[in-house]
Amino acid sequence: MYDTEFLDIPALRSVRGSVRLPGSKSISNRVLLLAALCEGRTVVHDLLDSDDTRVMLDALRALGCGVQVDGSRATIDGLGNRPRQPQAELFLGNAGTAMRPLTAALAVLGGDYQLRGIPRMHERPIGDLVDALRALGCTIDYLGTPGYPPLRIGQPAVRLDQPIGVRGDVSSQFLTALLLALPLAASQPGRRDVVIEVVGELISRPYVEITLQLLARFGVQVQREGWSRFTIPQGSRYRSPGDIHVEADASSASYFIAAGAISEPGRGPNGLKIEGVGEQSIQGDIRFVDAARAMGAEIDSGPNWLQVRRGAWPLKAIDLDCNHIPDAAMTLAAMALYADGPSTLRNIASWRVKETDRIAAMATELRKLGAQVEEGTDFIRVTPPDSTTGWRAASLHTYDDHRMAMCGSLAAFNPARLPVRIQDPRCVGKTFPDYFETLFAIAEPSTPVPVLCVDGPTASGKGTLAAAVAHRLGYHYLDSGALYRLTGLAARQAQLEPEPVNEAEIAALARQLPVQFRADRVWLAGEEVTEQIRSEAAGMDASRVSALPSVREALLNLQHSFARLPGLVADGRDMGTQIFPFAPLKVFLTADAAQRADRRHKQLISKGISANIDSLRADLAARDARDSSRSVAPLQPAQDALLLDNSQLSVEESVDRVLGWWQARQPF
């Protein structure tokens, strides 16, 4: 997951290949709670790993539930009808799928509980659910603004003599919460049927349908009269299914369906395969497929897969009641940017009480891109930008809302070939932590991947600077010197002196160099060699093999392969002059010889390696002379490089200087 202040996405042309989606958030948190309310053990497979599921798992642990997580599998030892911890303070972040159902379940079970979240959660209404639970005899107090979390829950005196009324026109999660909690009351001896009556029109019905199907999997068959009356039979009791699998998230599929629909056709196999969900999904958001087809997408489906490609172009404008796909409908607003006229999405009042006011947020951000947007209490109308001239590069605010970030990324497919900046990309962790990595793995850029080069002499601090800049930007990092050090090490292991006489054999090794970079560690042929290649001897070997033309040619393609989405920061001695001559920013880092020798001396001493500073200075001078006078790619600044003398600068100051130069080249 990108943990950066912002993420710049270069202009994208198309998507190809296949993508495997994470598990559904809606199903994951429902299943976790149901498993906790059973007696016995439930094994949940393909569980979504996200912020929302993590807060639910933490809450279940705090209540005394047995929880073991191994990758995407969770083993839940249920609580039955009584939490083992009758008192707890639960922090539920911004997870409505945890706050609302846990409020209802704990209010029916009783205890001494406080439920809190982040500030935005304390702005999301829960009063209609609390009113319904109070009418049932539950004890719930507001700890802040009436009608909103945080809440305190006490012991109930449950009464089931009257139907329980709950509003359905604010959030379907209120009804879902009651449906999940009230089987606990119906299972008590002597109790009658539990009846829930929905007041007003029920929105987001497909999410209630998910709840009903999962209740059936856990042994509770709810009788439904239309969408206004639900009956939980007396004696209903949760029974563990033993093992249960979580479908891939249909809402998450919408972003890739959209990407396939706006992807430029290319040579070879066309389209994108989405694995993990098909049109027979129990999730209502799978009906996004119908909406995408109405806009012109070509979509085939099979058991747990979808195949998507561009059909009509531009996309066809739509006017659609989106009550049946409230979350996925946000993706239609992004697709509307590529339509042949204004598109109107109706019956989306629930957007206003989600992670943010999504109608207002979407209108604001789409306007930044050049669209004309009209918004109402329960609709949004999007008129796309005029062809290529109306599009604008934009920095999109995400409002700590995962869906705003993922929808915003689709703007990178614009025909004007403009980049888009996503602020706070980490917010996708709520449902799809690896969203951007997944997108970049299948996307093809329409412009060269941006590369930032940092060149300089030995011990100038270029590696430290480049790695820090890459981290701040969320870009890949290439330590080209490591490749030469690895080649030198491979030559030594093959008993080849790094001399011109062995050039052909060393070049052959370099062409098939089995190297892997993981975080700040380096492997060669499956063996970690991080410390080995950082030795002074390895540095000398690197300098010698880098002077061999055939070795440099062999490593050229390998270095080019590091230029992957969303971008690359490369450090070395000739990144800007030879390897990436068209990089939009080249920095040549310098420091006086005494300063560099002092830095290297401190570095070696910190590792417990004895060193003489005068010898180090002499070695650096010799290496500089050799690197700057070699016939192939001598060490020198690129003509358009910016010089940075960091002799008197801290690492942070140097990073800020380079990022300032980089920002000056961006269109945002």
Q: Which residues are annotated as a binding site?
A: 25-26, 30, 96, 124, 171-173, 204, 327, 354, 358, 403, 430, 456-464
Q: Pick the catalytic residue: 249, 327, 571, 627?
A: 327
Q: How far is CA 461 from CA 425, 466, 533, 595, 645, in A?
A: 29, 9, 17, 11, 10
Alpha helices in 494-610 (DSSP H): 503-511, 536-545, 549-560, 593-606
Residue with tokens 């239309």: 226
Give the DSSP H/E element, type plus range, for residue 153.
Answer: strand 151-153
Does residue 327 have an active-site annotation?
yes
107 phi, psi to nearest 5 deg: -65, -35
Measured distance CA(516)–CA(398) in Å, rounded: 34
* Binding-site sequence positions for ATP: 456-464
* Of the candidates 10, 32, 130, the residue with the CA atom closest to the CA atom of residue 439: 10
Cβ atoms within 10 Å, residue 345: 26
Q: How far is CA 239 from CA 61, 108, 184, 214, in A?
A: 20, 18, 12, 12
Residue with tokens 């401190």: 602
Q: 557: Cβ–Cβ under 8 A, 6 or more apart, which residues?
A: none
Contact (CB, 8 A) for 44 and 29: no
Alpha helices in 231-357 (DSSP H): 250-262, 288-294, 329-335
Contact (CB, 8 A) for 626 and 457: no
For 246, left (φ over 0), alpha (ψ -120 to 50), or beta? beta
Give 511's DSSP letter. H
Sheet containing 223-225: give its strands across. Answer: 164-167, 194-199, 229-232, 223-225
Give 416's DSSP letter. T
Which structure tokens are listed for 570? Answer: 């490369």
Contact (CB, 8 A) for 461 and 646: yes
Beta bridge partners of 75: 43, 68
491 phi, psi to nearest 5 deg: -65, -45
Contact (CB, 8 A) for 368 and 642: no
Active site residues: 327
